[in-house]
Amino acid sequence: GAVVSQHPSRVICKSGTSVKIECRSLDFQATTMFWYRQFPKKSLMLMATSNEGSKATYEQGVEKDKFLINHASLTLSTLTVTSAHPEDSSFYICSAREATGGNQPQHFGDGTRLSIL
């Protein structure tokens, strides 16, 4: 089945550091990838839709300059949390849809646990 790899799985860093998270579709091409944030005991909140070769589409309330998204190829999207602060600590999950059209389900990575000290 379709596999999405997310790296790193866990990051602990100091306040003010920028952190990059990678999301790769391993065995399929994904024109669109999605970045979610999951708060404790809460559902997933869509942050942005990452489009290959174009700018990401951010959801309302998500800071574009804070969460930089780059989708440079059909198999890779990156999320960079710039100048991270403790309130950015969360579980970030990416997903990807196969570029075959129609109603394909999203396939999720294993998530990245970000902890800002």
Partner 1 sequence: GDSVTQMEGPVTLSEEAFLTINCTYTATGYPSLFWYVQYPGEGLQLLLKATKADDKGSNKGFEATYRKETTSFHLEKGSVQVSDSAVYFCALSDRGGGYQKVTFGIGTKLQVIP
Q: Given the rule CB under 8 A, which residues bind partner 1?
A: 4, 6, 32, 34, 42-44, 46, 49, 93, 95, 97, 102-111, 113
Q: Shortest Cβ distance from residue 80 to partner 1 (Å)? A: 19
Closer to partner 1 at the Cβ: 17 or 57? 57
DSSP 21: E
Place of tokens 């869509």: 46
Q: Shortest Cβ distance from residue 37 to partner 1 (Å)? A: 12
Cα separation, 86 vs 14, in Å, equals 9
Q: C-alpha 58: how far from its chain's center? A: 12
Cα separation, 52 vs 50, in Å, equals 7
Q: Shortest Cβ distance from residue 17 to partner 1 (Å)? A: 23
Closer to partner 1 at the Cβ: 10 or 64? 10
Cα separation, 20 vs 40, in Å, equals 21
8 A C-beta contact, residue 98 and residue 74 = no
Closer to partner 1 at the Cβ: 25 or 32? 32
Q: Shortest Cβ distance from residue 7 to partner 1 (Å)? A: 12
